[in-house]
Structure 1
Amino acid sequence: MVKQLPVAEEPDDGSGPRAGRRQGVRYLQNEAAPRAARMVLGNALRLCREAVGLSSGEAATLLGGSPSKVSRIESGTTSPKERDLLKFFAMYQIANLEEQENLRELAAAAHRPAWWQPYAGVTPKYVQAVVSFEDMANRIRSFEPLYLHGLLQTPEYARAMIARAPGSPSRHEELARFRTERYERFLAASDKQLLCIVHEGSLTHPVGSAAVMHSQLEHLINLTFHPRIQLRFSPQYDYRVHVELGSATIFDFAGRLPTISFAEGYDGGLVIEDEQMVDRRVKAFDALAANSLEPHAMRRRLKAMLTTNRY
């Protein structure tokens, strides 16, 4: 099940003024997970509910369902059916036809099959949630201290990583195709920006073979010239570089959703929506980026790693 981790805030019984605020932290593994398109709809409905002064508990009573149903809709775990959407219009006094149509369009997008649906059998639900965030975000900021972010990996590096996971060769091949399509879709989306801080330590963990790592370093050098990918290099032996942030990917949605942070673990990941927790991670990321090497200095460091035959 989805594990709700506590955050430092006063208790809420579902009927007070804090009811319906974004969840603090959700630890996802392979259960029903939020999707960005559903979250956009859920966030819009939450704002409508708050505008008329209803708690999530009161909304659930009027809807004729449980409080958990409203929570699942607002969190993006599920999306409302047409009959529920009509009830929301009445409950939240949404009489404006343009506003109703906008919510209907959001609901249609939330119900639309995702591009990764054919890979649902081989990708954990939390990975599907992350990819939905990537699809919806206009900017992605990431720091991975152990291994390279998926959007920076060469196909050979990705295949070597995938081969470490349990499963059959056919499953690994399907995952490799999924990874390739994920990267191609990012490249095709001209409105997206990716800012990655590459920690030197992630390049000291060899993946695949020396040839794979050599090709990966060359790929990173080339990416430092990419117009929509901004890279920074975090040296391993620099006292100014503080990496306590740990694994963190920050998704910005151009106002369609509040900023979300995600931290991947060994077999799951934390989706962090609490505003204060996200803000702390954003500030730590920005501080780390400011103290990391810019692209020209990063290129010099990577080329030095190549010429010294490190791999």
Structure 2
Amino acid sequence: MPPRSNPSERQRRLGLELRKLRNSAGLSGDRAGALLDADRTRISNIEAGRIDLGHSRLRMLLREYGCPPGAYFECLLEMAADPGTGWWDGHRDVMSRSALDLAALESRCSGIRIHEPLFIPGMLQTQEYAEAVVRATGGNGDPTDRYVEFRLARQHTLTGPDPVPYHAVVHEAALRVHTGGTHTMRRQLLRLIELARLPHVTLQIFPFERGAYAAFSRPFVLFAGPTPELDTVYLEHPLNTVFLGDGEHIDEYGKMFERLSGLAFDPVDPQAAPEAHDNRDSISLIQHIMYAL
């Protein structure tokens, strides 16, 4: 079978991990190829996610690379065996490869931390708001309904029977931009409060009064993997999206998120009664903006 031309994020990530392990072991591509009775080109294709490696050969390679037995070792084997299929397959005719990869990553992560400066995060959007965002960002014509359907289906990760911990820092600007109009925004802000009261959801608002911050114009998502080595940073740009899996970037964005969280208002407390909000916090700001609409 010829090498695939468009590997999935999961396939690319497995290849990246194998490259990191090989480099840590001090093995050249030629030496690694010899372990598989193959050449450097095959190793290059495996590490780019273009070629799969069978379970027994992958296990042997991991041992030769010095990967110790444990959770990380087993997760790499599971990644290789994962067929990569899911509910998102029904949208392959409309959605981009990166959007499908994002849905697959959300389905297998163990936690999500997101910073969003301009829009309400997709996981927290109402249908009306999602429709307005899709129209505003260029989704026109018949596929628009499918884009919205896909976006809402992704929320199952947050609202399904086995939800993942979710922590969002949203800039006040996202609450004040009238995306879809006044009625849509009022319903969206009510939805924010509703979801923020879920025990696995942490929502913080970054207010204008805290001033500018280096990250405030950069949306990003941190996905916790099944082991820390498999954490991922997701960056979305107008022309392309990027999945980062190296430790340096993960540490950098992790520290950035902690700083944003520390500067933002206190999160919505699901146990607190409305009259308990005598100081400015995230829920009082959401309510203030909502009542002013």
The RMSD of aligned alpha carbons is: 3.2
Alignment of 1:35-54 (within 5 A): 35-36=9-10, 38=11, 41-42=14-15, 45=18, 49=22, 54=27
Alignment of 1:62-211 (within 5 A): 62-63=35-36, 67=40, 69-74=42-47, 77-78=49-50, 80-82=52-54, 85-89=55-59, 105-109=78-82, 111-164=83-136, 165-169=138-142, 171-188=143-160, 190=162, 192-211=164-183
Shift of 1:200: 0.5
**C-alpha distance 303-90 of structure 1, shift in aligned 2 (>3 A):** closer
Instruction: State the Cα deviation string for residues 259-295 of structure 1 (Å, max 9, x = none).
Output: 2211111131222223222211111110110111123
More deviation, 66-75/243-252: 66-75
1:55 corresponds to: 28
Say if 1:60 and 1:66, in contact at 8 Å, map to a contact too: yes
Counterpart Cα distance in 1 of 2:116 and 2:7: 22
Q: Structure 2: where are the runs of 5+ without partners?
A: 269-280
Shift of 1:243: 3.6
TM-score, normalised relative to structure 2: 0.78
**C-alpha distance 194-74 of structure 1, shift in aligned 2 (>3 A):** farther
Partner SS state of residue 180, structure 2: coil
Equivalent residue for 1:228, pick from 200, 210, 218: 200
Say if 1:235 and 1:241, in contact at 8 Å, map to a contact too: no
Counterpart Cα distance in 2 of 1:138 and 1:88: 24
**C-alpha distance 199-215 of structure 1, shift in aligned 2 (>3 A):** same
1:5 corresponds to: none
**C-alpha distance 203-242 of structure 1, shift in aligned 2 (>3 A):** same
**C-alpha distance 204-49 of structure 1, shift in aligned 2 (>3 A):** same
Letter matched to residue 55 of structure 1 = S
Q: Structure 1: where are the runs of 5+ without partners?
A: 1-30
Shift of 1:193: 0.7
Counterpart Cα distance in 2 of 1:294 and 1:68: 52
Counterpart Cα distance in 2 of 1:48 and 1:295: 39
Say if 1:33 and 1:125, in contact at 8 Å, map to a contact too: no
1:24 corresponds to: none
1:299 corresponds to: 283
**C-alpha distance 166-39 of structure 1, shift in aligned 2 (>3 A):** closer
Partner SS state of residue 230, structure 1: strand
**C-alpha distance 53-166 of structure 1, shift in aligned 2 (>3 A):** same
Identity of aligned residues (%): 23
Bigger relative contact order, structure 1 or 2 (CA pairs below 8 A, ≥6 apart):
1
Counterpart Cα distance in 2 of 1:33 and 1:198: 32
Counterpart Cα distance in 2 of 1:257 and 1:189: 27
1:12 corresponds to: none
Shift of 1:212: 0.7
